[in-house]
Structure 1
Amino acid sequence: MDTNSKASPLDLSSYDFRLDPSFIALNPPTNKEDSKLLVYERAKDKITHTTFKHLFDFLPKDYLIVMNDTKVIKARFFGFKNQKKYEIFFHKEIHSEKSKQAFLVQIKGKVKEDDLINIKEGLDVKILKLLDSGFREVEFIKEGKALELASVLSLLEDIGVIPLPPYIKREASAKDLLDYQSVFARNLGSVAAPTASLHFSDSMLTYLKKHYEYLFLTLHVGAGTFQPVQVENILEHKIHTESFFIDRQNLQKLKDSTKIACIGTTALRTLEFLHGCDYKLEQGECDIFLHPLNPPKKAKALLTNFHLPKSSLIMLVASMIGLEKTLELYELAKSKEYKFYSYGDGMLIL
């Protein structure tokens, strides 16, 4: 990682860094509260190395804590056509000209429109349209009828496998069913976990609810969260969109609050999107791209993990503390042997 002052916050290459595979957490910690936590206090330019069990020693008690209660779908599943096995990755419900009950999936293997992939007796995935990069518009057909979203999500809970991040090459285990969900996950819809939330134990959540004002919103995390930015001028990047939901009472609470700490980048992106539309939407598609030239205007603190190079997530971190400080803290984290990515350690920005 180049930490010199000439790095431009608009250049994609400025967000690239080398990370030895040994720094990437491939399994969750044995004890969530023992994960490392780097605390950066902006006003003092102060860095503290601690663990998650001490999070509340740093997080001010007068802050409103905003959490994302999305739940990860068992989005990977398998089917057969002409005795050939196909791996299918469910993404989300979409609007389609061909069906009122259409969904976006990725399929490994060649298919054509109108093909049927058999999932189990009486259940098929019908190919409606071929899109780029292996994406397909499909219907789930059961006994001749197209299934609605609620039925599809219920089905996936029965037949699917939890979708670990693409850099984790092992198969998901029974332990991942628990560890790749936050303790407050409740609304099915994500294909990736909001990873800062994974650090919370039941006892930490109980403490938070007792000593802080808090609220939940829902933003369903898409697979785009893992995609690196591809254009050298990051202003040309088209950010992925993700569906969000929040009730009217919590929307008003966000509007009225002046001290807000977000648990994870998904909570922060949703907050800033809602702020940008003057808190008028209770649901919609979040497409805000936060970077050093478009910093947060509402959030005062962020709990997050250490992210992939060239990702929109490391750019979001830089939107809060600047590119130079982000590079500095990532290098420091490596020198202190912090673990990176979804199952890794965390950073609290105050």
Structure 2
Amino acid sequence: MYQRLREIRARSIFAGLLTFTVLTVTACSGGNDSKSAGGEEASPTSDYTKPVHLVNAVSDGTAELFKAIDGAFVPYWKERTGQSAEVEQSAGNSSAQETAVIDGTIQADLVTLGVGIDIDAIQAKGKIGEGWQQRYDYNSSPFETAVAFVVRTGNPKAIAEWDDLVQSDAQVVVANPATYSDARWYYAAPWAVSLDQSPEDQEAAKAYVTSFHERVAVLAQDDASAETAFLNDNKGDVWVTTESNALRVSNAEGKGKVDVVVPSVTLAVEPIVSVVDANADAKGAREAANGYADFLFTEQAQTLAAQHFYRPRFASVTEQFAEQFSEITLLTVDDNLTGWEDLQSALFADGGLYGQLPAK
């Protein structure tokens, strides 16, 4: 039907009417599907003489990356449409951002949060349309990182794999999932690795996560506190965090002090993006918000992601950073587990495994 409309639109007698119709359908759909990521022409219905102000709510671990992407989007959008754009960023842990968008504390036009269920919660309140995660490739995750280890220079505990960590006497520094929702990935990783080794054996996975927790010497308030404890306060032997965090630190203040270890099999950490349809529609910013989400799937944004130590989705960009990213097997919550809803129930919800682990 859409193709037929495009054909008819080409006929000049119906051009004006059908341009309006097609653009209305686009606006109601919440943006482009995965085939359109980074590609479709901007709709001519917007008043490009008026500047647009977007609010982008992100997880704080991705804040620096999104500052760079925000800055790149503004000239991209100006060149593409002639419209001046401004992007305001709000950063916080994923669940806090979810709550703030739901209660209206943050009038976000876009969210890029730690896990999909946080965006599902916003969708359940009617602010995001159904099927939001199918709008873009990779389940609407424009780039990824991995759960990894930061160790002292020379790796004195010889930690290379998850088994090495779980079976060692190493002291672990890690953020607390109870106070920092993005840290759910760090406890989900040993769960996923164990199930990859012994599929369907959840008792073994529980034991594996419990053994990991036994190694924890510092359960920090958030990633920033964990970094301070490990790097500045010299606590622990291993800091469990994301590969992007690890590479950032090892190339800056931790240079010469730490090494980065990425296990050969570990869990992918996948930030997820969605337009907040109701907010963007209310302020007439839907097209620009869609354009921003599209922009994340362009080579320019993918390159920025790699420069900030996130693994890009484009092979053409990955090839340019081959020395930066080791070849590993990345497990995903959707492909190797049964989705975040089940994982949340098993590990982090009331009655889940994490709440049964000894207090730290």
Structure-2-length-normalised TM-score: 0.28
Bigger share in helix: 2
Give the TM-score of the pair, scaled to structure 1.
0.29
Task: Flag the structure with larger Rg.
Answer: 2
Larger strand share, 1 or 2: 1
